[in-house]
Amino acid sequence: MKNDIDENGLNIIQRRTIKANKSKIDFPEAQNEAIKKFKIFRKEHPERFPSFWETFTNEDRKNVIDKRNKTMRKTMESKGKWKIFKNMDDYELYFKRSSFKFGFNFPMSKKEKYLLETKGIFSAKHNSRGVVRDHLLSRRYGFENNIPVWIISHPANCEIILHSENVRRSFTNDNQITLEELLEKISQYK
């Protein structure tokens, strides 16, 4: 049944996709134009099965994506999963801004590389024994001592450790390095 092609050259999956997208998109003129282009493309290139998005112009894609993002944001805010900056207290803002922004792309020691290669990255659902990035000088300490965010979020302040070790550290509230040692590491950072 998957290959039943109608008079427009569309199979059942493509027809259902178009029908579903019609109900989701509030840009009927762009949508109708995209459907026309999709049908023409399908007739001209029967060997290819283009995605529905290929028929949208870049501007129409941007409009649809913007609308979906706004809807998602409203939903997430109403569920309490996202907070607006103006509704965050000072610590929440500092905590968010001092998080690492570089992934796992930074110079690591041999021990850290070994842990990453053998244990993998932590995931609560798929890899509960994996590794995480931890701040050597904690974000709480940085907030309480008015340390600039760029110092706390610097790669020199990052260490790869097992998730279980990170949980243990969070309860002890101990820093692995002093501010002076961190500043020295930052000045020598490549």
Residue 47: what pLDDT? Answer: 67
Q: Domain check: are 64 and 95 in the same one?
A: no
Is 145 a residue whose pLDDT tops 50? yes
Contact 149, 100 (CB under 8 A): no
Q: Domain check: are 63 and 155 in the same one?
A: no
Count of domains for the chain: 2
What mean pLDDT comes out for the span 6-13?
74
Q: Which residues pair with 123 in a beta bridge?
A: 127
pTM given for the model: 0.59
Q: For residues 174, 179, 185 and 189, what is the CA-based torsion angle, rounded to 10 degrees? A: 110
**Which residues of 75-171 form beta strands (DSSP E)?**
131-135, 158-162
Q: Domain check: are 61 and 120 in the same one?
A: no
Instruction: Choose among 107, 123, 124, 96: nearest CA to 160.
Output: 107
